[in-house]
Chain A
Amino acid sequence: MDLAALAACIANPGCVVTQATSGFIVGMLLFLVAAGLTLIFGVLKVINFAHGAFYMLGAYFAFALYQSSGSFALALIGGAAGSGVAALACERLLISRVYGGSVLMQLLVCYALVLILDDVVRMVWGNDFLSMGMPAQFQVPPLFVAGGVVPPFYLFLIAVALAIAVALGLALARTRLGKVVRAAAHNPQMVSALGINTGLIYGLVFALGGALAGMAGALAAPVRSLTPGMGFSILIDSFIVTVIGGMGSVAGALVGALLIGFIRAFGSVGFPLFTDGIMYMVMVAVLVTRPTGLFGRNAG
């Protein structure tokens, strides 16, 4: 524990800017993954343990597209779209068969999906780690703001993730489809009774969740090494986010993800060996004081 270092950092605007940027980066990537996870749980009532696999697919799709086209924009779109399509296929072929089933059955199906998708990646891209490299337009010196360091690529990453968060929030709140999704989360029988194809809604939500995870993977691909199974570590953090934010709440996912991001960023200065411990302590504190999460609805 180094509280003096933490106090010195907080008193130094440069350190605050640098660490806050770090917190936003970690948080916004986590948000993209956790938002999909929480949406899927909220609407489908499935705890999607295979969600990390779509993050991995997004990264690999982006890698392949960037290698072949040299366009990072295409890589981002392709990574998200490819993961969305893969998620839709998985939902139609497998996940849809365990709706309403036991949690154990859902867990087994999701775990099978993880193993299958990991092996598919191995077969296509091999076992070795891959590195996409920084796109040419972002190979520029970092910005210095109030003495802090802010890489332009990370500004872009935060901006894209924030734009997605706003668009997702508006779409769920203002559009007809968003209202149907929220209604399906609340009372699927009533939505079905109104003649709405809930199967289609479920498929779309699962695909959207997969696309969000894929977008996170594609955004992370230039700075993280790609390897089969890379989705596992982010999945654990995403579950912590959804527990803190409240299962089913996109706003909760955003707050939870940023909370985890800031704990990581400032914890690495003040509690370098206990950052994970603090994350779990916050999760436990939320579970004890508010079992449904910060933004979760009470079951009653």
Chain B
Amino acid sequence: MATTSRSAIGRRAALAALGAGATALAAPRIVRAQDKVVRIGMPTILSGRVAQLGNSSRNAVLMEVERINAAGGLAGRRIEMVIRDSKGQPQEAARIARELINTEGCDLLLDGEASSGGFAVNEVARDLGVLCVHTNSETSSLTADPKLRLPNAFRVCRQGVHDSIVGGSYAAGVAKAKGLKRWATCAPDYAYGRDTTAQYVEYLKHFMPDVEIITQAWPKLFQPDYTENITKLLQAKPQALYTCLWAGDLTAFVDQASIYALLSQMELFAVNMADYTTLTAVKHLPPGIHSGNRYIKTFPKTPQNAAWADAYRARYKEYPTTWSWQNSAAMHFFEAAAKRANSVDGKKLAEVLPGLTVEVPFGTDGTITMRGEDHTIINYAIGWGTTIPTEPYVPDMHPGDWKQIVELEAEWKKANHYT
């Protein structure tokens, strides 16, 4: 009897313990359901040579999350961000993305990786079927190539081919005016550097066919010393140099090139120069560098854009970057899609995102549109100009023509068998 009794008590105790355990384990989800939370997982680069850009992505997202939550959240659910550092390593980005969904219970992915990690996160999104918005991967093929494009993945980010068309058009104008026919390139040796350089050269030659590329340098990504590349470029004696080096790599390159007086011997076209992190990090910014607009508060020259930059600066004591505006715009897309779908379900959001237009300070006319055919944004502010050493850094930005961009992009896709 005693044994039976003890056994009966033991079963009850065991059941109670199991029940308590199950409740305890389920508690976060129950609380979340009651609290109406939507968790967004975000892998990005928070350490290493481009950490400044990853941190600026996180900052912009948190600023928007605060605004959206104060206004009632996404379809009535409060946003909870789960942000993890990939250290810029693709395999780590993929692992984190998977963990954010499977372990952390995130509902959506905001992929804040550069191209090297973005492609890896895209494959995780393909595998798990989760809605993924890429915010910092500029390599065009990510959404242009139908083999890579996913029904559940979108890109809220500038694109290499767009920059190249605008850059090629602008450069051809300068080249014609100054007679620059002998060109060189210097780009990091990975997908973004190779793709973007090839596209830039293609459009430079499209707009000025008699341009000749006399030498190309391919330093490694995050290479500490560019001396051998700089001296090689000096020997080739080009009249103009194009580079898509970025962040700390571009800063080191400009610093090292300056002591060889390289910039006085050729015109420099650096697509990624006009971003505050780089503009302020170069200690002696040479005047007259041609650059694409990454992010500056005076382009587009609207009160909304300046106000957004000032609000960001007031909060974080530094200016936003190109990664900031892209992540801010991505949160606007989440907000608008959730409103239209009246849901935060990834599948429903993916149905309403194509063709969606949002009002943001970063559009040419105050809006940006998610193009339905290839899940990437158009109509964002894009232009080129020349630098001066102090604010506003690029006083006269020449805006790109979106009609021309879209037409040439369509031809590029056709030539690459993407359409």
Q: Which A residues lie at the B interface, using CB under 8 A?
A: 5, 9, 12, 14-15, 18-19, 21-22, 25-26, 29, 122, 127-134, 138-139, 141-142, 149, 151, 153-154, 220, 222-225, 227-230, 233-234, 264-265, 267-269, 272-273, 275
Binds A, one of B24-32, B246-254, B337-345: B246-254
Pick the residue among A21, A26, A225, A269 that contacts B232 (CB under 8 A): A269
User: Which residue of chain A has the shortest Cβ distance to B264 in the bound complex?
Assistant: A141
Q: Considering the chains assembled together, what is the distance between the CA atoms of A14 and B236 in angstroms?
A: 12
Q: Considering the chains assembled together, what is the distance between the CA atoms of A25 and B222 in angstroms?
A: 19
In the complex, what residues of B have CB within 8 A of residue A132's CB?
283
Pick the residue among A21, A26, A228, A275 that contacts B47 (CB under 8 A): A228
B223 touches A228 (CB 8 A): no
B255 touches A133 (CB 8 A): yes
Binds A, one of B49-57, B117-125, B411-419: B49-57
Known A127-B48, A225-B49, A272-B218; contact A25-B227, beta-carbon cutoff 8 A: yes
B228 touches A22 (CB 8 A): yes
A63 CB to nearest B CB, Å? 11
Q: Considering the chains assembled together, what is the distance between the CA atoms of A229 and B45 in angstroms?
A: 14
A153 touches B47 (CB 8 A): no
B48 touches A229 (CB 8 A): yes
A18 touches B48 (CB 8 A): no
A154 touches B259 (CB 8 A): yes
In the complex, what residues of A have CB within 8 A of residue B235's CB?
9, 12, 14-15, 18-19, 269
- Return 21 A-B CB contacts under 8 Å, by A number: A15-B235, A18-B231, A22-B227, A25-B225, A129-B251, A129-B281, A130-B281, A131-B248, A131-B255, A133-B255, A142-B260, A154-B259, A223-B259, A224-B224, A227-B48, A227-B51, A230-B49, A230-B224, A265-B228, A267-B228, A268-B217
In the complex, what residues of A have CB within 8 A of residue B222's CB?
233
In the complex, what residues of B have CB within 8 A of residue A130's CB?
281
In the complex, what residues of A have CB within 8 A of residue B282's CB?
131
Q: Does B357 contact A (CB under 8 A)?
A: no
B260 touches A223 (CB 8 A): no
Q: Considering the chains assembled together, what is the distance between the CA atoms of A275 and B218 in angstroms?
A: 11
Q: Does B46 contact A (CB under 8 A)?
A: yes
Residue among A18, A128, A269 having the largest count of chain B Cβ atoms under 10 Å: A128
Q: Considering the chains assembled together, what is the distance between the CA atoms of A130 and B259 in angstroms?
A: 18
Pick the residue among A129, A223, A269, A275 that contacts B52 (CB under 8 A): A129
Q: Considering the chains assembled together, what is the distance between the CA atoms of A223 and B255 in angstroms?
A: 6
Q: Does B256 contact A (CB under 8 A)?
A: yes
Q: Does B71 contact A (CB under 8 A)?
A: no
In the complex, what residues of B have CB within 8 A of residue A273's CB?
189, 218
A266 CB to nearest B CB, Å? 9
A149 touches B46 (CB 8 A): no
B225 touches A224 (CB 8 A): yes
B52 touches A225 (CB 8 A): no
Excluding A18-B231, A122-B47, A268-B232, 15 further A-B contacts by CB distance (< 8 Å) are A5-B215, A19-B228, A22-B230, A22-B231, A127-B48, A128-B51, A129-B52, A149-B261, A222-B255, A223-B225, A225-B249, A233-B223, A268-B231, A272-B217, A272-B218
Q: Considering the chains assembled together, what is the distance between the CA atoms of A138 and B281 in angstroms?
A: 19
Pick the residue among A19, A29, A129 that contacts B231 (CB under 8 A): A19
Q: Does B234 contact A (CB under 8 A)?
A: yes
Which residues of chain B from 257 to 288 have a CB within 8 Å of any chain A CB? 258-261, 277, 281-284
Q: Does B229 contact A (CB under 8 A)?
A: yes
B247 touches A264 (CB 8 A): no
B259 touches A142 (CB 8 A): yes
Pick the residue among B47, B224, B251 that contacts A233 (CB under 8 A): B224
